[in-house]
Amino acid sequence: MEINSLTIQSALDVLKKKECSARELVAFYLDRIEKIDGKINAFLTVDREGALQQADEADSMRANDVTKPLLGMPIACKDLFTTKGLRTTAGAKIIDNYVPPFDASVVGRLKEAGAIIIGKTNEDAWGHGSSGENSDFDVTKNPYDLTRVPGGSSSGSAAAVAAGMCLAATGTDTGSSVRLPAAFCNLVGIKPTYGRVSRYGVIAMASSFDTIGHMTKTVADCALVYETTSGKDLFDGTTPDIDVPSYAKSLGKGIAGTRVGIPKEYLSLPGMAAEVKAATQQAMKTLGLLGADIIEISLPHTEYAMACYYILVPSEVSSNLSRYDGIRYGHERSAFGAEAKRRIVLGTFALSAGYYDAYYKKAAKVRTLIKKDFDDAFGAVDVIMAPSSPALPFRIGEKSEDPLAMYLSDIFMCPVNIAGVPALNVPCGFVDGLPVGMQLIGPQFSEARLFGVASAYEAATQWHTKWPKT
C-alpha cells in the first residue's frame, strides 16, 4: 500500500479492511510532514498530540461499529479557520499568538464527521493574494516545482494535499483562493455558492464575497467532504435553509446532452498563455466526446470584473480589518504587511465622502451587471467551462513586486465570486511538468451538477493521478 497516494475514499477502505489503524494512518502523515515540510512550508502549526489522540478515539469508535463519513481522515485547515485550543494566525503577524476558544462551524462539522484536524496551513495574510507570497511567515513552495508558487491565498492547504501530507484541506475563496491553488497543485477545489457553507468562525476577508471550500485529490473526495460541511447554520444568517443533496450520488451519471458554455471573452484574453489555452481546448474536446453540447456564450461585462472586485473587496477588507487596531487584541497595527495596508488604504479611500458615489456605488452597480451576465448565460447552458488561470504556476518572486500583474492571475475567477455562483477547479493537463486546471461554473446551488460533470471528465482522463515526487 502506497500511503501517500491514498485518497479519502481509498483510505476509508484501508481502515475498513483493517489494513491499518487510524493511529497508524495519522502517524504516517505526521511523520511525512516532519520529513518533507521543511522544504515546502505548507504548515504553520502541526497538532501531533491532538491528532494522535483523535486518531485513537476514531479507532475505538470503529471498534464499536460507529460509522461516520470521514472517520479517521487527516484533514488540514487553512489558518483562517478558528480551531479550539489550536493557534490561528490568518497568516498574519498581528495575531500570531491567538488561540481561539471555539471551532469555526465547518471545523466542528468536520470533527463531527470523524475527521482529524492534523494542523493549520500557511496562507497569504488575511487571504490577500494569489501566490502565498503575502504570508507574514515563510513562502509556501509548489510541490511540483519548489521554485514556483503553489497559488494562493490557500497556498499551504493546496501544497499539503498535493505533497501527500494530509487527505484534504480547507480553504476560503473570496476571489480565487481555493480554485487557483487547486489549479496550480493539480487538485479538485470547490468554491461554493455564496452561503452554502457557513462562514462562522472563519476570519473575514470581504464578507459579501467570502466562501468556504476545500481541496482534495479527486472529485468523489470533494463531494464527500462538501456534503459534510454544507447547509444551514444558525450562526451564519447567510446560510439558507435549502436541503443538502447527496453530492456523492450525483457522480458517474454521464453528461450526454449537458449544455456546456464557453465564454468567448475568456479564450481571447490577450495575456493568455498559449499552452494553457491549448490544454483548455483539449479539455473542451473531451467534454464534447463525452456527449456534452459545447456552446459559445458571452459574458459581456468581463472586462470590468477586476476593477469592480478591487473596489468592493478592499472596501469590505478595510472595514473587517479595522478591528485589529491593537487595542483589543493582537499586536499593534504597524504589524500589518504591505498588502493588507494597500487594501486598507484603497478601501478607506473608495468609501470616503466624495468618492463613495464615484467608486463604491458604481462598482456595486457593475456587480449587478456581472451577476446578470451569468444569469443570462445560464438561461442557455447548464454549466460554463473556463480556464482557471491564464498562466502556469509562476516563479517565486516573479510577480511579487507588481501587484497589478498578480491581481490578473484571478481574471477568470473573480467574476464567479462577484456573481455568487459555485465553481469547481478540475485538473485538465500538464505543461512541462506543471499542472493546468479548468473551471466548471454553474448557477446557484448547482454543485451536484458540477460534481457530476467533473466526475465524468475525471473518469475519462488521467491528470488527477499524477503526483509530485516529494
Does position 157 interact with ligand GLN (CB under 6 A)? The reply is no
Pairing of strands 383-387, 259-263: parallel
If the CB atoms of residues 176 and 250 are measured against ligand GLN, the closer one turns out to be 176
17: cell is 479492511
Residues 390 and 410: their CA atoms lie apart, in Å, by 8
Minimum distance of ligand GLN from residue 195's CB (angstroms): 16
405: cell is 500583474
Minimum distance of ligand GLN from residue 290's CB (angstroms): 30
Does position 174 interact with ligand GLN (CB under 6 A)? The reply is yes
Nearest to 396 by CA among 222, 209, 184, 251: 184
**C-alpha dist (Å) from residue 399 to 134, 142, 151, 197, 396:** 11, 15, 12, 32, 8
Does position 118 interact with ligand GLN (CB under 6 A)? The reply is no
Minimum distance of ligand GLN from residue 365's CB (angstroms): 21
**C-alpha dist (Å) from residue 303 to 319, 379, 407:** 26, 21, 13
Contact 447, 455 (CB under 8 A): no
**Residues linked to residue 424 through DSSP beta bridges, in sequence order:** 190, 440
**Residues linked to residue 78 through DSSP beta bridges, in sequence order:** 121
Does position 447 interact with ligand GLN (CB under 6 A)? The reply is no
Residues 39 and 443: their CA atoms lie apart, in Å, by 40
Residues 146 and 151: their CA atoms lie apart, in Å, by 12
The length of the chain is: 470
Does position 37 interact with ligand GLN (CB under 6 A)? The reply is no
Task: Indicate if 177 belongs to the active site.
Answer: yes
Handedness of CA 114, 115, 118, 120 (dihedral sign): negative
226: cell is 462538501
Select the span of 136-144, 175-183, 231-239, 445-453 touching ligand GLN (CB under 6 A).
175-183
Select the span of 13-21, 92-100, 125-133, 391-399 touching ligand GLN (CB under 6 A).
125-133
If the CB atoms of residues 271 and 379 are measured against ligand GLN, the closer one turns out to be 271
Q: Which of residues 192-221 bind ligand GLN (CB under 6 A)?
A: 205
Does position 153 interact with ligand GLN (CB under 6 A)? The reply is yes
Residues 64 and 114: their CA atoms lie apart, in Å, by 14
If the CB atoms of residues 79 and 173 are measured against ligand GLN, the closer one turns out to be 173
Task: Indicate if 389 belongs to the active site.
Answer: no
Alpha helices in 101-152 (DSSP H): 105-112
* Catalytic option among 153, 155, 198, 389: 153
C-alpha triplet 112, 117, 121: angle, nearest 5°: 135
Return the axis-axis angle of helices 22-40 and 48-63, rounded to nearest 10°: 150
Backbone angles phi, psi at 358, to 5 degrees: -70, -35
Does position 173 interact with ligand GLN (CB under 6 A)? The reply is yes
Does position 129 interact with ligand GLN (CB under 6 A)? The reply is yes
Does position 177 interact with ligand GLN (CB under 6 A)? The reply is yes
Does position 155 interact with ligand GLN (CB under 6 A)? The reply is no
Contact 286, 390 (CB under 8 A): no
Tell me the site size for ligand GLN, rule CB under 6 A. Answer: 14
* Catalytic option among 21, 78, 111, 318: 78
Give the SS3 label for residue 124.
coil
Burial of 328 per CB tally in 10 Å (0-12, 13-18, 19+): exposed
Select the span of 88-96, 166-174, 371-379, 426-434 touching ligand GLN (CB under 6 A).
166-174
* Catalytic option among 21, 130, 155, 177: 177
Residues 291-330, mask of contacts with ligand GLN (x by CB under 6 A)? ----------------------x-----------------
Select the span of 143-151, 170-178, 217-225, 354-362 touching ligand GLN (CB under 6 A).
170-178
Select the span of 63-71, 91-99, 174-182, 283-291 touching ligand GLN (CB under 6 A).
174-182
If the CB atoms of residues 83 and 174 are measured against ligand GLN, the closer one turns out to be 174
Does position 127 interact with ligand GLN (CB under 6 A)? The reply is yes
If the CB atoms of residues 72 and 390 are measured against ligand GLN, the closer one turns out to be 390
For residue 244, the Cα-to-chain-centroid distance in whole angstroms is 20
Does position 410 interact with ligand GLN (CB under 6 A)? The reply is yes
Select the span of 60-68, 85-93, 128-136, 392-400 touching ligand GLN (CB under 6 A).
128-136
If the CB atoms of residues 221 and 316 are measured against ligand GLN, the closer one turns out to be 316
If the CB atoms of residues 182 and 292 are measured against ligand GLN, the closer one turns out to be 182
Contact 438, 426 (CB under 8 A): yes
Residues 443 and 416: their CA atoms lie apart, in Å, by 10
If the CB atoms of residues 129 and 452 are measured against ligand GLN, the closer one turns out to be 129
Residues forming the site for ligand GLN (CB under 6 A): 127-130, 153, 172-177, 205, 313, 410
Residues with catalytic function: 78, 153, 177
